[in-house]
Amino acid sequence: MRDIAGQAVWITGAGTGIGRALAVAFAEAGCRLALTGRSRDSLAETQRMVEAVGGTAMLAIADVSDAHQVTQAHLAVAAALGDVDILVNNAGTNARKRHWADLSPADMAAVVDVNLKGPFLCSLAVLPAMRERRAGLLIHVASVAGTGIFAVSGPSYTASKHGTRAMSATINAEEGIHGIRSVCINPGEVATPILDTRPRPPSPEERAIMIQPEDIAAVAVFWTFQRLLA
């Protein structure tokens, strides 16, 4: 199997949970990393973990729901690493008051902006160079909530994850002829800090039997081999 060492990987939501596990896994595969999130301290901790496994990572602080911040982050990533080979749209959020009876317009917008608008903005940033090179991979961490209707997720999260799946499919439909591939990972419950926003957060015992962030990272690296180097 060919390796992916040297590939430039841009990961959003890299400060905690799945994003942090993704960074470590891609670092162990020899990739060059760019880490994006809103908290410099959290990203710096991920950077230290990447370095502990022999990897390198630069930080590009940004709120992925803000078009200007995404543009500036992408410019910084491209300046440091060159064109992005692999974009991992992982940043995600949910609201504690998430159901129709108590959902506010502000909470709805905050969830949709991060979960759906963010992947759109980051994808738009990297696609032109990928199109020119006729190569590139986009990985989107969505959810099983994007494949069906699960009451626990709330309407904003559910709609945003359905949208992410549709977005990924349209990238393949329009950009596949340019050598660009898009993969959507749709996990069930994963033991990450986003669970703390639930009206009733799961117990430590419940989290212990859930999918772990490292499991999703392993899937992402596997699909990178399968899709990018096929």
Average pLDDT, the chain: 95
Mean pLDDT, range 117-140, rounded to an integer: 98
Residue 183: helix, strand or coil by DSSP?
strand
95: number of CA atoms within 13 Å, CB side? 23
What CA–CA distance (Å, rounded) separates 186 from 188?
7
pTM over 0.85: yes
Token pair in block for residue 35: 């880490």
Q: Give the tens place of pLDDT for each residue, 4-19.
A: 999 999 999 999 999 9
Look at the block and give the residue holding tokens 């359905």: 162
Active site amino acids: 157
